[in-house]
Amino acid sequence: MSNVPGDLRYTRSHEWVRTLPDGSVEIGISDHAQAALGDLVFVEVPETGRQVASGDAFAVVESVKAASDVYSPLAGEVLAGNDALASQPELVNQDPYGQGWIVRLKPASMADVEALLDATRYAEHLASEA
Amino acid sequence: MAYIPHTDEDVSAMLEAIGAPDIKALFDEIPAELMIDSLKGVPPALSEMEVGRLMLDRADRDGRPLNFIGAGAYEHHIPAPVWAITTRGEIYSAYTPYQAEASQGTLQAIYEYQTMMASLTGMDASNASLYDGASALAEACLMAVRANRKSKSSRMLVPRCVNPTYRLCTEAIAGTQGVTLETVDYDPQTGCTLLDALRAYEGQDITAVVLQQPNFFGQLEDVDAVTDWARAQGALVIAVVNPVSLALLRPPGEWGERGADIACGEGQPLGVPLSSGGPYFGFLTTRMEHIRQMPGRIVGRTLDLDGRSGFTLTLQAREQHIRRGKATSNICTNQGLLMTAATIYMTLLGPAGLESVASACIARTAELVAALTAIKGVRKVFEGPRFHEAVIRLDSPVQPVLAALAEQGIVGGYDLSRDFPELGNAVLVCATETRTSDDIARYATKLAEVLKHPAAA
């Protein structure tokens, strides 16, 4: 069973969202998603300042045999991509909810964050997909 | 492995397994109106003997003229071992390997090719080759749009002294995918990209600047100035280069302060014979920072489970068999046979051999220009350094002169009047290492005769 921390929000496409003290959010892919992809060899992060809509493909995670889009869970402005992933994409595998974060975003509306899946419902979603 | 075709029983078993009544049912998603019963206008099949005769007759019609035309495809001496080795059964294949890792020899040949092309162009990485030089430029432009993420315009600045066929082809391929080509004028004195014409775009969003070296007129561009200007604008630099010239000229990776971003071009001069326009092959190399945006196949060197050295296709996640509609390109193949010939050609010549070919080209062209411009009514059009081509201008229309020369068994050059009417009666002439002093003297003598007595010729 994959790790689903209780303090985060999730999407059905397996992204997670953490609200930071300054009102920005950190986004990554779930433990389930990294395990399904296998060892990552490359992560493409969006450029700072980009305006994204909810559901936009804004990053790419690439393993040896597949490349998948990461979809923005929220509308907002990209504050930063995780530059450490350029040389260490494996951080997403090793620490998907920590050092493996992919994007920091300034959400257009905090209410959008609340509307995402909580840990319980994401765990149910995982169970239903299994 | 066994190459045994499927038997009827095999086919039935497979259809049964997937629940399809017959093979036709596998194609039922194609709308009926797109299906045709037969190909109209295709003549009946010929036997091998008949095809052989037909091709010989057509080849005879070309004759064996003395050739002074280049304009993108060049006659070079090809040492006999190049094609003797290339056509050996072990490596005689036109195609990119499918079960790639079972074809270690092919992968090694591609790997060696990539290493040589990266080294020749001063870049970090090369793909396994593309269709030809023109489509390589189109792919380079599409790649630049992906690689230059700061630019939103998909606009390319393309000097008119870039091969006009390349510009047309790029327009056809990349133009339909949102890329805009902006034409930049050339300096009428030097035949090189006009820096002032580039500066008119200062401050605008430009995705990339295309620069051909030597350019279509054979003239050598100020690659440092253009590269540095482009970089200051936030534009990438796409170099279109002649691989033979790189034995002498500074490679694109060393242009200006930081080098070009993508180098591409026509690989034909490297051991591929002139042949009715093809098949030739394109090459494309780049810096490591852009490698994931590079189209085509890439072979890498690796270790197997037992720690032995081996070769493998790499970065395949960019390609359409994995990335589907979001692949970097629909190019999923390479020009395997011609790329193999080029690898053998470069191996046989080595850096010193390629340099002597390039030096001989420059010397022969200088000799040709001197011989032709000594004739009354023939002038050189552009000043400045050049590689193995030059533009000359006649006092009278070009076509009758070229036709009269052809009667004498001489291909006198490329008529520029269609693409560059402002140059008047201009001809692009070329002499590679294959043209001797006698050849050049013969051309000059015949041209003088034709110009003196146009009616008689």
Q: Of A36-40, B63-67, B216-220, which has the strongest mean pLDDT?
A: B216-220
Is pLDDT of B97 > 80?
no
| Side chain identity at residue B178, one-letter code | G
Instruction: Evaluate whether B281 touches B131 at the Cβ level (below 8 Å).
Output: yes
Whole-complex ipTM: 0.74
Q: What is the mean pLDDT of chain B?
A: 94
Position B321 scores a pLDDT of 78
- Which of the four pLDDT bands, split at 50, 70 and 90, describes residue B299? very high
Q: What is the pTM of this model?
A: 0.88
Is pLDDT of A122 > 80?
yes
Q: How far is CA B322 from CA A62, A89, B144, B325, B446, in A?
A: 11, 20, 22, 9, 59
| A61: chain B residues, CB-CB within 8 Å | none
High-pLDDT (> 90) share of chain B, %: 81
Is pLDDT of A49 > 60?
yes
Among A93-102, B56-65, B241-250, the least confident range? B56-65
Mean pLDDT along residues B347-372:
98
| B149: chain A residues, CB-CB within 8 Å | 47
Is pLDDT of B187 > 90?
yes
C-alpha torsion sign, points B153, B255, B120, B274: positive
Instruction: Evaluate whether B71 touches B419 at the Cβ level (below 8 Å).
Output: no
Position B397 scores a pLDDT of 95
Q: How far apart are CA B296 and CA B167, in angstroms?
A: 21
Among B100-104, B165-169, B223-227, B289-293, the least confident range? B100-104
- Which of the four pLDDT bands, split at 50, 70 and 90, describes residue B223? very high
Taking only Cα atoms into account, the Rg of chain B, rounded to an integer number of angstroms, comes to 25
Position B3 scores a pLDDT of 67
Position A108 scores a pLDDT of 94
Is pLDDT of A67 > 60?
yes
CATH value of B81-343 in 3.50.50.60, 3.40.640.10, 3.40.50.2000, 3.40.1210.10:
3.40.640.10
Q: Is B258 left (phi over 0), alpha (psi -120 to 50) or beta?
A: alpha
Mean pLDDT along residues B387-403:
97
Position B1 scores a pLDDT of 47
Q: How far apart are CA B341 and CA B348, in angstroms?
A: 11
Q: How far apart are CA B143 and CA B284, in angstroms?
A: 10
Tell me how close the Cα of A12 comes to any Cα of chain B, in angstroms: 21
Strand pairing category for B414-415 and B426-430? antiparallel
Domain boundaries, chain A: 9-123
- Say if B324 is an interface residue toward chain A (CB within 8 Å): no
Task: Tell me which H or E stretch contains B265.
Answer: strand B262-266
Task: Tell me which H or E stretch contains B389.
Answer: strand B389-394
Domain boundaries, chain B: 81-343, 350-452
Is pLDDT of A65 > 60?
yes
Mean pLDDT along residues A92-98:
97
Q: Which of B149, B150, B317 sits opposite A62 (nearest CB)?
A: B317
- Which of the four pLDDT bands, split at 50, 70 and 90, describes residue B15? very high
pLDDT digits (tens, 9 = 90+) for B102-119: 888 889 999 999 999 999
Mean pLDDT along residues B445-452:
96
Dihedrals φ, ψ of A108, to 5°?
-65, -35
Per CATH, the homologous superfamily of domain B350-452 is Aspartate Aminotransferase, domain 1 (3.90.1150.10)
Position B454 scores a pLDDT of 67
High-pLDDT (> 70) share of chain B, %: 98
Mean pLDDT along residues B261-275:
97
- Which of the four pLDDT bands, split at 50, 70 and 90, describes residue B2? low
| B323: chain A residues, CB-CB within 8 Å | 67
pLDDT digits (tens, 9 = 90+) for A1-20: 689 999 999 999 999 999 99
Tell me how close the Cα of A118 comes to any Cα of chain B, in angstroms: 31
Tell me how close the Cα of A77 comes to any Cα of chain B, in angstroms: 15
Among B185-189, B277-281, B383-387, B442-446, the least confident range? B277-281
- If you measure CA to CA, which chain A residue comes closest to B291? A42
For chain A, the straight-line distance linking the first and the last C-alpha, in angstroms and rounded, comes to: 10
Q: How far apart are CA B352 and CA B375, in angstroms?
A: 35
- If you measure CA to CA, which chain A residue comes closest to B290? A44
Q: What is the mean pLDDT of chain A?
A: 94
CB contact under 8 A, B318 and A44: no
Position B89 scores a pLDDT of 84
- If you measure CA to CA, which chain B residue comes closest to A42? B292
Is pLDDT of B82 > 60?
yes
Among A26-35, A106-115, B313-322, B349-358, the least confident range? B313-322
**Residue ranges of A 52-91 with Cβ closer than 8 A to chain B:** 62-67, 69
Does the structural domain A9-123 have CATH classification 2.40.50.100?
yes
Mean pLDDT along residues B32-59:
91
Q: Which are the contacts of B283, defined by CB distance < 8 A and separation ≥ 6?
A: B117, B121, B126, B127, B129, B130, B136, B243, B263, B264, B265, B266, B267
CB contact under 8 A, B292 and A42: yes
